[in-house]
Amino acid sequence: RAKRTGRGHFCFCEPSMMTEVAERRSMETDLRSALALKQLELHYQPQIDLAAGRTVGFEALLRWRHPLKGNISPALFIPLAEETKIIREIGDWVILTAAAEAARWPDPISVAVNVSPVQFQGKLVHTVASALQRSGLAPERFAIEITEGILLDESSDVLSILNQLKDLGVHVVIDDFGTGYSSLGYLRRFPFHKLKIDQSFIRSASDSRDCAMIVKAVAGLGKSLGIKTTAEGVETEMQLDYVRAEEVSEVQGYLTGRPMDAGSIGAFLAQEASRP
Ligand code: C2E
Ligand code: MG
Ligand code: MG
Ligand code: MG
| ipTM of predicted assembly, 2 dp | 0.98
CA 105 to chain centre: 20
Mean pLDDT, all residues of the chain: 92
How many CB atoms are closer than 10 A to CB 35?
A: 15
Please tell me the predicted confidence (pLDDT) of residue 2. Answer: 47
C-alpha to C-alpha distance for 223 and 239, rounded to whole angstroms? 19
Where is pLDDT greater, at 177 or 181? Answer: 177
- pTM, entire model: 0.93
Question: Once rounded to an integer, what is the mean pLDDT over residues 187-205?
Answer: 94
- The residues pairing with 223 across neighbouring beta strands, listed in sequence order, are none
| pLDDT reading at 97 higher than 60 | yes
Q: How far apart are CA 232 and CA 111, in angstroms?
A: 16
For residue 108, whether the previous peptide bond is cis, meaning omega lies within 30 degrees of 0, is: yes
pLDDT band at 149 (very low <50, low <70, confident <90, very high): confident
Share of the chain above pLDDT 70, in %: 92
Give me the mean pLDDT over the 204-221 stretch: 93
Q: How many helices (H) and strands (E) does the chain have?
A: 10, 12
Is any ligand 1 atom within 6 A of the Cβ of residue 178? Answer: no
Question: Which residues are bridge partners to 42 per DSSP?
Answer: 62
**Which ligand minimizes its atom distance to the CA of 198?**
3
**Per-residue pLDDT at 241 exceeds 90:** yes
* pLDDT in the model for residue 255: 98
Residue of 44, 61, 124 to mutate, ligand 1, most atoms within 8 A of C-beta: 61
Instruction: Kindly report the protein residue whose alpha carbon is nearest to atom 17 of ligand 1.
Output: 233
Q: Are 273 and 256 in contact (CB under 8 A)?
A: no
Rounded distance, CA 221 to CA 217, Å?
Answer: 6
Whether 94 is in the pocket of ligand 1, judged by its Cβ within 6 Å, is yes
